[in-house]
Structure 1
Amino acid sequence: MKKKNILPEGTRDLILDECIVKRAIERDIDDIFYKWGYKEIITPTVEFYETFNHDSQTLKEEDMYKFFDNRGRILVLRPDMTIPIARAVETKFKDESLPIKLRYNSNVFRVHASLGGKRNEYTDCGVELIGLEDKKSDLEVLVLALEALEKLGLSDFKLEIGNIGFFEGVFKTLNISKESKEIIAQYIEDKNLKNLEDYLDEIDIKDEYKEFFNKLPWLFGDRSILEEAKVLAFNEELKANLEYLENLYSELDILGYGNKVTFDLGMVPRLNYYTGIIFRGYGEGVGNTVLRGGRYDNLITIGEEYIPAIGFSLDINSVIENVKTSEKINTIDKSCKIYYSSKYRIEAIRKSEQLRQEGKIVELIPDDSVNEIKVLL
């Protein structure tokens, strides 16, 4: 194969019906966000490297597509949408009243390991609710996430909720290095139980902390897992985080979503700007996570004040092959074909214009075997 016909790793072409399905999903999801009062924002595909390279998040340098501009400054293809929106809010929304509700539909770019099977370019469709504390906004965003998952048309889906506070709350009384904390977090997130146990034996911490960390990866499942976790909650902050999750579940259950919600208290995302609830959406038959989100109260500043926020994004590309494809295509495909010989070219164009005004999609097909124009609806 000629090199000019080879795509970079982690990318692919979408063609024909795939494009129809993708655009239909995007319209459906965007319509939900619009009806909830979220305004659209479009940020540049290219950002300065420094925007993503500071202590409030842990996107690794090698995970980003980097290049230089003509002045030698390092630029990146945006690997995330939350951080560019935070930048935009700090610079463009300083005089806006809170809350600010924003929605987006944008491509993002991440470099994944070769042969890992993950895409390096994908479309994120998401929202950010900025300016309201957890008790005033978490429920709204969780319900919006559930509505979006439902709208995808997957045969089944679940929203898995965690609380980074249940992990972070331990470090109020445990003093270890940042490096050790990150290693523990990664082992818990990956549910790498053997390496976690071995590492905890290597560092000097009390047995109650070891027990907590070793059991944390197992704390996932339905609502009953919150009861099990209470045994491990040895300080007031841990207890408060569990109580908050219980209250959220009760409200979601009243709204009819109880059977769609599970919990994972060992959820510790790589992006460490999260400060409260975190959540992920999964669909039956979809190998990758469909939806990711959480609360980030220490990322956006206006003046000297931190502004609370919460948001999520849907990975549109991950579900293209799993939604009810024929249903998506049939609801959009109103096309018809007009066959015509060269003698009737003008009449064919006039007829096609008439049909388009009626809302049809019209394809003109030259065919000298027909004596006039032939319309197939």
Structure 2
Amino acid sequence: MTGHNWARNIRYAARTHHQPSNMDELRRLVAGADRIRAVGTGHSFNRLGDTIGDLVSVAGLPPAVALDRDRGTVTVAAGLRYGDVATWLHAQGYALANLASLPHISVAGAVATATHGSGQTLGNLATAVAALELVTADGDLLTVHRTDPRFAGMVVSLGALGVVTGVTLDVVPTFDVRQYVRFGLPRAALDAALGAAYSVSVFTGWRSSRLDQVWLKQRADQPPPPADWLGTVAADASCHPVPGMPAENCTAQLGEPGSWHERLPHFRLGFTPSSGDELQSEWHLPRAAAVEALAALDPAAERIAAVLQVCELRTVAADGLWLSPNHDRDSLAIHFTWIGDPAAVTPVLAEVEDRLAPFAPRPHWGKLFARNPAATYPRYEDFRILLGEFDPAGKFRTDELDRYFPRD
């Protein structure tokens, strides 16, 4: 376990770092701590997961994976990475419906922050959760299932209710995907493009009236896009979404068929994802407001481009999870990968947030944002009550959690 997050913009303030090797050790650790937080693979860009107390990783627990073919689920150790789970699952003939762009992230961390892939009919990764196992504040081991009335508040929980040790996920039969990249999408064709394949990502540098790249991830049995698809040009070589970065880091393109876990992510498991030296922000808006929201950002395009590596546009289906940015609304996610310069990025980030404010934006919980998003969540008060029930002494709380969910 390191003392900083993946991007190195956060150095953890924890007094002690732990990586227990068994459940009894973890339970004793949680029960005896005054302040404790779980840390995953460190792909968050803010201090939501930090603590002045103990920081604990569950990556040292046994890497258990159990497939239940009758129920159509797989139960995995929470510290496992999605890429490792996916490789195992594919070998058994099964798949997850969707994956994030990075297969490097831990299952528990991604679920707790509603991390997502793309697809207008596909929910974020937390929507695949059928059950959770967690160590609560007193060291007890609790399993909660989808039928529990608290479940919708416990899946995307920001690590605030306990240390998650196991996650049960819905699975589907394995499938193959072909990936195509297209250049120069007219802005007016954005909505059509976002619904054109199983999973779609659109990239822009905010330097042109057209959108730079469209990554279409189609089931392998679907026809390829026609030569003149939406006024774009087909890539004739593999690409990286960040200009100047090597394409070998990315999953195979040019229509080459491959299994779901080797195409749905943008990046390959054995390579450094994205550029590494970066900051990230992301806001989720109502899908219906996509064109209007992008137009609201146009006056800031030059300032955005000056501190931007790439911006990605994706769709996420609505769900019922209380703290999901996609709660009760189909969403457009606008993701910014900034340069690694906080002083230069912060004022631009604030301007973006101000310009998007009329659309009730909900930030990705693991990225950089400034506004408290509480007012945009209809079940906010219900989650705050749940926090008090599970953690009355504030064992899992942080300064940022206190800011977003003040205590009574």
- TM-score calculated relative to the size of structure 1: 0.27
Answer 1 or 2: which has greater helix percent. Answer: 1
